[in-house]
Structure 1
């Protein structure tokens, strides 16, 4: 049977035949699965291969429950889905207990949310941190009952994919349950963006040395070249070094972009499945055309998201969201990959903003509301997240957008007349 192009290159929910092990990352993950009993967090921007890494190495279907944390899901939903997928009958009393112990009084939740948000963003003061022990008591959870039911079914692993869609308060509550799950022998594999090394320990210090982190972001040039090598072998083709080097550079080392460019290039070259005779592909002009078409195809939607964010809150007199987006679009990829620090944004604001007396508090408030604004504007999936006093890109495709965005034409994306400021400096 010929091998189809769709099973070799492109973007797929399945493990492609061109999948390669990234020695340091894949082996580290496999070791943590086989040689430890810790919870595992796989993190990185979207579309870098986190879920495929989990699928390739994790566990037998019969002892693993996989939950997709879709938009709007809460901790009560997660526990209910876990029990349902394990084939455990949920009694009325257990259902009520789950709901009661994972939902807080609205005022308690609002206060707790502000506390957690300040802690994650890095804006907590020493006084606030020292008073953490005096926060309102959280309700006892039903995690013990859930865990015991799962152990009786010989469940070993719970996978939470797209964990970043779970709200901060539920993430915080889960962090305390994770210690109990660890003690009883259930392991969680958590996959998401907006997480970094030590994330859960910020919520619950007792998770130290009970949870390991895998950064799945990095793809080296050698990794990308190996994808080409394996894929070409499957299709019985060869792609010239000039074309591959162009795609590696053009993709900004984003594996999803690289895979899609290879798919588009093969398809445009007439390769839809493997053939009996080797085919040589070396049309660099076609490669450049494929990249331009791909950028055109996805940039329109991404730049609309930027416009929505730049629009900010119409009542905002300083239009800081507009100026922050202008800073983002005119920064280079090296800065973007490290995250835009508070100081970097502030220094650049002072250079380009009409008001030269912007205070730290105004900028802090805007940055702390970045996620809420994206939710309000229906920017989905979210492009940015602010934590540890940095504005991070959480969607890896945006690095590709930044690489090919024509900075000279920024006013076409963010027209100044749409974001006019009106100051009354006499007030």
Structure 2
């Protein structure tokens, strides 16, 4: 088959032709779709979460919500209902609790469309010479109650999966509320598929233990070398080219187990080799210098984002009390860490020890300060608009993980000493 390079290799919002199915991921996902449970798909950035969803679901059988830091549950639920053609008329009510505080609840009138009703608010439509009346049934609901939302969804008779993409962008309070609501939705028969950038199991169970046996978790990692081999082979066959074994081994070695980096290096290497679409006669690509050029191009591509993101996190030091400047120090520690250690994740105790060794006031760096720093890192990245996030703190294992492998790629091919020197040291301005 003839194809353009961008259809075959690379990271794209569209499905690339080199996509392969993995039994431990795709097979499990297809089985989960046939169950009655919610599905949680998780893993690092650019590891194929969205591609997995697009491969096995169509737009016709999903309601897609792209989550953001500004979302609350009411906003998410109202978006779901609107996509199901439910009309919402906003109203607001307040109720006073026994302690005198005011608890706000968002109540709306939901208007559900149906065919041939007496309560027709809209005029008839002519279909095939006959007139069909579209009516609306109006009910009162509370946008903060999962039971109300679930009943309205069932009333629409649209058996669709609700997709929550980028779940990690929601603040912890919203994530926790959704985790509790998922039990109600599952009992009603409403299925959610949640995609998020994290690497530990049982993320949502930490918010609500009742989700045990109600969800199926599917990690998209790890990618094995043989998986990358299949991706490269499939894409090469479509383009009628072949990568030498040395080239393939090099790509796999420097991609840190990330399919997104593999895809981008394959695409850039083809461009450097003047392959932009399928060729008539098979071509073998084996020039290591061209792969080096492809690597340099990707380093430049990733450089501006990562350099700016690291500086942005470090700059947050001025917002910290007691003059400890901990964000600056954790960025410094990360940049200076061994790449293999970063791949495995940095233990909280290790981070604490290294910061104390580097800090200008080591005795003042307390355990509580480390708790505030690590627990607040996700929120800090949101505030600094670092999208996708670079780091995630695994509470269960007390480990800081790099969840965007392009950062590891960037650090491997960058002069990290210069990078550290370019970070403004906030303690230098102290008298």
What CA distance in whole angstroms lies between the structure 1 residues aligned with 2:309 and 2:103? 33
The answer to whether the 8 Å contact 1:3/1:235 transfers is yes
- Cα deviation, 1:211-263, whole Å, max 9, x if unaligned, reads 11111131111111111100011111111111111111122222111111111
Q: Provide the C-alpha distance between the structure 2 equivalents of 1:106 and 1:295, rounded to a whole number of angstroms.
A: 54
Query: Where does residue 109 of structure 2 map in the other structure?
Result: none
Looking at structure 2, the residues matched to 411 and 67 of structure 1 have their Cα atoms a distance apart, in angstroms, of 39
CA deviation map 1:250-306 (0-9, x unaligned): 222221111111111112212111122112211111101110121122123201211
Retained in 2: the 8 A contact 1:303–1:413? Answer: no
2:370 to 355, 358, 363: 363
Q: Does 1:328 align with 2:328?
A: no
Matching residue of 1:273: 277
Report the counterpart of residue 428 of structure 2 in structure 1.
420
Counterpart residue number, 2:123: none
Quickly say closer, same or farther: Cα 1:277–1:320, change in 2 above 3 A: same
Q: Shift of residue 409 of structure 1?
A: 3.0
- Higher CA-based Rg: 2
- Give the total of aligned pairs: 384
Deviations 1:322-356 (A, max 9, x none): 22111111112332233322101011123222323
Q: In the alignment, which residue of structure 2 is the partner of 1:148?
A: 151
- Once residues 366 and 90 of structure 1 are traced to their aligned partners in structure 2, the CA distance between those partners, rounded to angstroms, is 41
Q: TM-score, normalised by structure 2?
A: 0.82
Tell me if the contact between 2:332 and 2:420 (Cα under 8 Å) persists in the aligned partners.
Answer: no
Q: How far apart, CA to CA, are the structure 2 residues paired with 1:52 and 1:377?
A: 27
Bigger proportion of residues as helix? 1
More RCO (CA 8 Å, sep 6+): 1
Query: Secondary structure in 2 aligned to 1:364?
Result: helix
Aligned residue in 2 for 1:114:
none
Structure 2 match to 1:392: 401
Instruction: Answer yes or no: is the 8 Å Cα contact 1:181–1:187 preserved in 2.
Output: yes
1:351 alignment partner, one of 349, 354, 357: 357
Q: Deviations over 1:142-169 (max 9, x none)?
A: 3222212222323241111111122221
Whether 2:23 is the aligned partner of 1:15: answer: no
- C-alpha distance in 1, partners of 2:384/2:158? 43
Partner of 2:112: none
Map residues 38-117 of structure 1 onto 2, 5 A cutoff.
38-58=37-57, 60-92=58-90, 96=92
Task: Sort the Cα spacing of 1:140 and 1:220 in 2 relative to 1 into closer, same or farther, 3 A.
Answer: same
- Secondary structure (helix, strand or coil) at the match of 2:270 reads helix
Cα separation, 2, equivalents of 1:373 and 1:92: 33
Which secondary structure state, in structure 2, belongs to the residue aligned with residue 90 of structure 1? strand
Measure the CA separation in 1 of the matches of 2:317 and 2:271: 44
1:227-306 to structure 2, matched below 5 A, reads 227-306=231-310
Q: Which residue of 2 aligns with 1:126?
A: none
Structure 1 residue ranges without an equivalent (≥5): 110-138
Q: Per the alignment, do residues 293 and 87 of structure 1 end up closer, same or farther by CA in structure 2, a change over 3 Å counting?
A: same
Q: Which residue of 1 aligns with 2:5?
A: 5
